[in-house]
């Protein structure tokens, strides 16, 4: 390991061991029967570990894949820090940390869209409009969801408009320009990664609107269940999504793709 790498690893280690202690609430302790709190804790640590992993594995892949791994690491880093705060809100008040969740989504969801753009850019020239469509679609989805969930807008209207924006994003990655660029240019390894990522955006992401529907519109799930479901969904949509990208980056870099 050269000196720069050693410095990077050391800085990452210091940052990650320091971060949690910043967020520990003085008056709150995790109870052994607080399963929602425990799930917040587990996921925050898994996110920290994933971040270190993605940043270090960046050294292993070809330069055209490095930015993808950086972005995967940023997604899990941003989520980890939010999870420290969300865990504290939950443990000390028993309330759902809606604002932190949406702030987290507002940063991580566009970054996940950047991943679609980057994976296509690694194989072909991609017009910037593809990126803007994905960015604007996901941003609208979240803004309407937030307005509905926090009472600034009718709950049903927020849901319908947010879902319409999500369907638009799905159209773009399956049938729109992004989907076509993939179908025309990608190697088998990239195609299979792209298609797994699409299924995550379809089925993994569907968990959040279903939670919104059941929690806010039908009142059929309680806050405990909803938080556990959202926490597990984040493992799939942030960590597993990053691992798919890591896998294709390593496969393509090592020339095993043919
Ligand atoms: C890492 C966090 C992720 C991938 C969060 C994704 C969130 C969504 C896909 C939310 C979707 C929603 C709708 C489709 C309708 C309106 C309500 C939302 C915001 C929950």
Q: Whose CA is nearest to atom 10 of ligand 1?
A: 208
CB of 12 closer than 8 Å to CB of 70: no
pLDDT, tens digit (0-9, with 9 covering 90-100), for 183-213: 999 999 999 999 999 999 999 999 999 999 9
CA 20 / ligand 1 centre spacing (Å): 26
Lowest mean pLDDT among 27-41, 78-92, 146-160: 27-41
Residue 69 scores a pLDDT above 90: yes
Which tokens sit at 108? 């991580």
Residue 37 scores a pLDDT above 90: yes
Quick one: pLDDT band at residue 13, thresholds 50, 70, 90? low
Question: CA-CA distance, 121 to 88, in Å (whole number)?
Answer: 39
Whether 237 is in the pocket of ligand 1, judged by its Cβ within 6 Å, is yes
Question: CA-CA distance, 114 to 111, in Å (whole number)?
Answer: 5
CA 123 / ligand 1 centre spacing (Å): 29
Instruction: Give the position of tokens 């089925």.
Output: 203
Other CB atoms within 10 A of residue 70 CB: 14
DSSP for 81-149, please give it. HHHHHHHHHHHHH----HHHHHHHHHHHHHHHHHHHHHHHHTTS---HHHHHHHHHHHHHHHHHHHHHH
Number of domains present in the structure of the chain: 1
Instruction: Give the position of tokens 């996921």.
Output: 43
The model carries a pTM of 0.89
Pocket probe mutation, ligand 1, options 159, 205, 210, 213, max atoms within 8 Å of Cβ: 205
Whether 216 is in the pocket of ligand 1, judged by its Cβ within 6 Å, is no
Domain with 76, as residue range(s), is 3-257
pLDDT, tens digit (0-9, with 9 covering 90-100), for 206-234: 999 999 998 888 888 888 999 999 999 99
Question: CA-CA distance, 28 to 23, in Å (whole number)?
Answer: 11
**pLDDT given at position 23:** 52
Q: For the residues 21-38, what does the mean pLDDT come to?
A: 75
Tell me what percent of the chain is helix, strand and coil, each rounded to the nearest 5. Answer: 85, 0, 15
CA 230 / ligand 1 centre spacing (Å): 10
Quick one: pLDDT band at residue 258, thresholds 50, 70, 90? very low
Q: Kindly report the CATH number assigned to the domain that includes residue 252.
A: 1.20.1070.10
Whether 137 is in the pocket of ligand 1, judged by its Cβ within 6 Å, is no
> How many residues does the structure list for the chain?
258
Ligand 1 atom closest to residue 211's alpha carbon, by position in its atom list: 20
């Amino acid at each position: 390991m050269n000196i720069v790498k050693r410095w990077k690893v050391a800085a990452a280690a210091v940052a990650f061991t320091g971060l949690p202690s910043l967020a520990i609430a003085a008056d709150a302790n995790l109870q052994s029967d607080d399963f929602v709190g425990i799930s917040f804790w587990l996921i925050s640590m898994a996110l920290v570990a994933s971040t270190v992993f993605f940043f270090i594995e960046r050294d292993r892949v070809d330069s055209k894949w490095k930015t993808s791994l950086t972005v995967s690491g940023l997604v899990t880093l941003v989520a980890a820090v939010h999870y420290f705060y969300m865990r504290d809100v939950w443990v000390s008040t028993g309330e759902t940390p809606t604002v932190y969740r949406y702030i987290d989504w507002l940063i991580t969801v566009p970054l996940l869209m950047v991943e679609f753009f980057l994976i296509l850019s690694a194989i072909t020239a991609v017009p910037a409009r593809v990126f803007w469509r994905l960015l604007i679609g996901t941003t609208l989805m979240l803004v309407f969801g937030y307005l509905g969930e926090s009472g600034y807008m009718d709950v049903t209207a927020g849901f319908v408009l947010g879902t319409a924006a999500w369907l638009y994003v799905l159209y773009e990655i399956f049938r729109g320009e992004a989907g076509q660029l993939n179908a025309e240019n990608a190697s088998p390894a990239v195609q299979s990664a792209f298609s797994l990522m699409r299924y995550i955006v379809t089925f993994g992401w569907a968990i959040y609107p279903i939670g919104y529907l059941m929690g806010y519109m039908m009142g059929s799930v309680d806050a405990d269940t909803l938080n556990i479901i959202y926490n597990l969904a984040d493992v799939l949509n942030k960590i597993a999504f990053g691992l798919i990208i890591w896998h294709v980056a390593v496969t393509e870099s090592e020339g095993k793709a043919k």
